[in-house]
Structure 1
Amino acid sequence: MAIAPVVLASGRRGSWIARSLISGLLLASIAGCSLWGGSSAKPVPADLGANVAVLGVRQAWNVRVGKVEMPLDVQVHGSVVTLASSDGSVVSLDAASGKELWRTVVGEPLSAGVGGDGKTSAVVTRANTLVILEAGKELWRQSLPAQVFTAPLVAGGRVFVLSADRSVTAFDGATGRRLWIQSRPGEPLVLRQAGVLRAVGDTLVVGASGRMVGLNPNGGAVQWELPIASSRGTNDVERLVELVGRTSRVGDSVCTRAFQAAVGCVNTSRGTVVWTQPASGSEGVHGDDIAVFGTESNGIVNAWNRTNGARLWTVERYKHRRLTAPLLLGRSVVFGDDSGLVHLISRDDGAPLNRISTDGSGIAAAPVVASDTLVIVTRSGSVFGFRPD
């Protein structure tokens, strides 16, 4: 079984020793290592063979930003791409040319980023500080009560933060004044990875354990709450269930993944679950009005019918590779792996269309597209722009 690319944090203010023990036990279990000194070899990914480039792709540019060792959400607004590195650098690039528009350093290592609306950018430091930037200049910063691993959401002149304790806080975007906070019962463990936080019309949609929750953005009141997956098992590790980014939205339909449990779609206007299907992945999904695509923790790639959840196809070619969340781009489904390769496969049947090499350090974030350019970020901090031939 492939190692899921996650680390656990405790949702309680309990003993650091207990937190470390619980996290260590889970990671050892995932890796297949015996707690009594034995070990099992990690499965070796199959040889992919020679690359046959059915779809021509060329590298257009490459820039450096700094190592990425945190959950990264690459923001796209028009032709502008904004991203961050773990050391606290935040960079905005023109996707057409790779030209740096601005770069700033917030002065502290980051735990989450980047959120933005095209004008304002938001990141969170490891010291639990929310930092707001405009054109690379700091506007304000505010202390937060808990760790954050999800990029803040900037929308409607406000900044929304989903914390690891599953609380949601709203701030005035201009002044930093706290507007409201919506707290939920704490959980023993949470994922040190991005959750679900997005705007859908006039509703703030967040993930809370295995449920998708619709909040009123003006005051935080719960409008609806929908189960994607339920806790199961006999201990805190086995009962862990959490919605993870990225999500796929088409109109009122939002599809998401519950960590190692399920993939499902909801209708946000009616407040109903349309379908769920069992799935053992740790990364989010992407798609359109026809299909939803996802990568599983063992490297299998799946496609589901968006209307009813029926399985369309399954590809095992990338088994035992640690894959990013996918991006649907034209006729292609695009995802990266932990060896630094970027794979383009057919949306119709999963057949390979091309394979792109980067710097070999592993792909750090789900691919994005801006200005007809596929943007890829690696763990070592290289940002690549690729275009079709």
Structure 2
Amino acid sequence: MRRAGRGPLSRLGLGAALAAVTLLAACAGGSPRPTPAELPANIAMIGVRQAWTARVPAVTYPLQLSVQGNQVALAGGDGSVITLDAGTGRETGRASVGAPLSAGVGSDGRVQAVVTRSNHVVALAGGRELWRHRLATQSYTAPLVAGGRVFVLGADRSLTALDGRSGAPLWKLQRPAEPLVLRQAGVLLPFGNTLLAGMAGRLVAIDPDNGNVRWEAPLASARGTNDVERLIDLVGGVSRQDSVVCARAFQAAVGCVDAASGNLRWTRPAGGATGVAGDGQRLYGTESDGRVLAWRADTGDRAWVSTLLQWRQLTGPLVLGRSVIVGDGNGLVHMLSREDGSPLNRLSTDGSGIAATPVVAGNTLVVVTRNGGVYGFVPE
């Protein structure tokens, strides 16, 4: 049970019954999601065609796609991990961890890593399992595979570093846990020889060798009077342009940080639950009510807003060429103008809802649906 645009919640350490009570209380205070307005006829201002399609098992968890060159790694909810050639849709690798997933896929092009619902990090290479390591907490963020290590962001805002060859623990950064956590991907990415992670409403820079914190930049602070209202966390994905990293704090704000110094550049109130994307001139995001917003990257001032897709349960955005691309809950992919948000094209899939923020690999736009449809679109 969830409000439109809000991420599912989990309660740590108090059991499923208490978590269900909290969710029921959260839902009871809201109103039904309005019915979206009919879309206008599609007028294709940009030529795009479907080049191929593939299938994976149904996606029942917060999928993140991993792109390495022309290869795209993705996984079904049952634990099947598949690599596709984005140019042809041909399967180039397949493995299975034998259990349902809660997070994935992370990859450096050689090693792939996912997290199971039983809290095991599983590393794969060449279609076989390398190792698995049990976490002390849940994780809904794809592991980061980099520098011969695997980094895992826990739902309790802990960060664990594992040896990429053996899975042996190297260090762990533990932060104060909150009563509720989001069951969706958080922020975890490399910046030079630094890890950047979202912990509560802060972007935190961490030494990857020992887990020491180098700096913290607050994008938002907790507000409200109960656990649901006070829930604050950064959500994936992020925009990185040179040293500037921009992210969203769940249902609270968007903001940008100079990752070289840790200085906060700006924040602005925003009511969305998905990540952001940028092009150096503007930052783009989708609000919980389906509005698509653009902010000026230098000041945070609003550049434009589109209400065309209100109440359509949008994914986070992808910036590609002239377009800002978002998927919706009815399996449609919308291409909007970066300049003013006007529609440029609309693409159809299987109608089951887009499961993850679309990605681009090589010359191909790759989209995955909840029913496991994988679609490759290319320019005409």
Name the CA distance, whole Å, in 2 between partners of 1:23 and 1:252. 38
Query: Shift in Å at residue 28 of structure 1?
Result: 3.4
Within a 5 Å distance, the mapping from 1:38-49 to structure 2 comes to 41-49=32-40
> Partner amino acid for 2:255?
G
Partner of 1:228: 219
> Partner amino acid for 2:164?
G
> Partner amino acid for 2:301?
A
Partner of 1:93: 84
Residue aligned with 1:237, SS: helix
Deviations 1:305-335 (A, max 9, x none): 1111111100011111100000000100000
Partner of 1:151: 142
Partner of 2:276: 285
Q: Would the aligned equivalents of 1:112 and 1:150 in 2 still touch at CA under 8 Å?
A: yes
Partner of 1:4: 5
Partner of 1:36: none
Name the CA distance, whole Å, in 1 between partners of 2:287 and 2:19. 26
The change in CA–CA distance for 1:386 and 1:5 in structure 2 (over 3 A counts) is: farther
Partner of 1:198: 189
Name the CA distance, whole Å, in 1 between partners of 2:176 and 2:25. 24
Query: Shift in Å at residue 166 of structure 1?
Result: 0.7
Within a 5 Å distance, the mapping from 1:181-192 to structure 2 comes to 181-192=172-183
Within a 5 Å distance, the mapping from 1:239-388 to structure 2 comes to 239-388=230-379
Partner of 1:23: 23
Name the CA distance, whole Å, in 2 between partners of 1:42 and 1:150. 27
Name the CA distance, whole Å, in 1 between partners of 2:307 and 2:230. 28
Deviations 1:215-261 (A, max 9, x none): 00000001001110010011111101110000011121100000000
Q: Would the aligned equivalents of 2:334 and 2:346 in 1 still touch at CA under 8 Å?
A: yes
Name the CA distance, whole Å, in 2 between partners of 1:99 and 1:27. 43
Residue aligned with 2:29, SS: helix
> Partner amino acid for 1:118?
G
Deviations 1:115-170 (A, max 9, x none): 01111100000000000011221111111100010000001110000011111000
The alignment yields a C-alpha RMSD, in angstroms, of 1.1
Name the CA distance, whole Å, in 1 between partners of 2:356 and 2:33. 23
Q: Quick one: percent identity of the two aligned structures?
A: 55
Q: TM-score, normalised by structure 2?
A: 0.98
User: Tell me, which stretches of 5 or more residues in structure 2 are unaligned?
Assistant: none
> Partner amino acid for 1:26?
A
Alignment size in residue pairs: 379
Query: Shift in Å at residue 55 of structure 1?
Result: 0.4
Q: Would the aligned equivalents of 1:2 and 1:320 in 2 still touch at CA under 8 Å?
A: no
User: Tell me, which stretches of 5 or more residues in structure 1 are unaligned?
Assistant: 33-40
Name the CA distance, whole Å, in 2 between partners of 1:211 and 1:285. 16
Query: Shift in Å at residue 175 of structure 1?
Result: 1.2
Deviations 1:27-77 (A, max 9, x none): 3334x1xxxxxxxx5311111111000101100000001100111110000
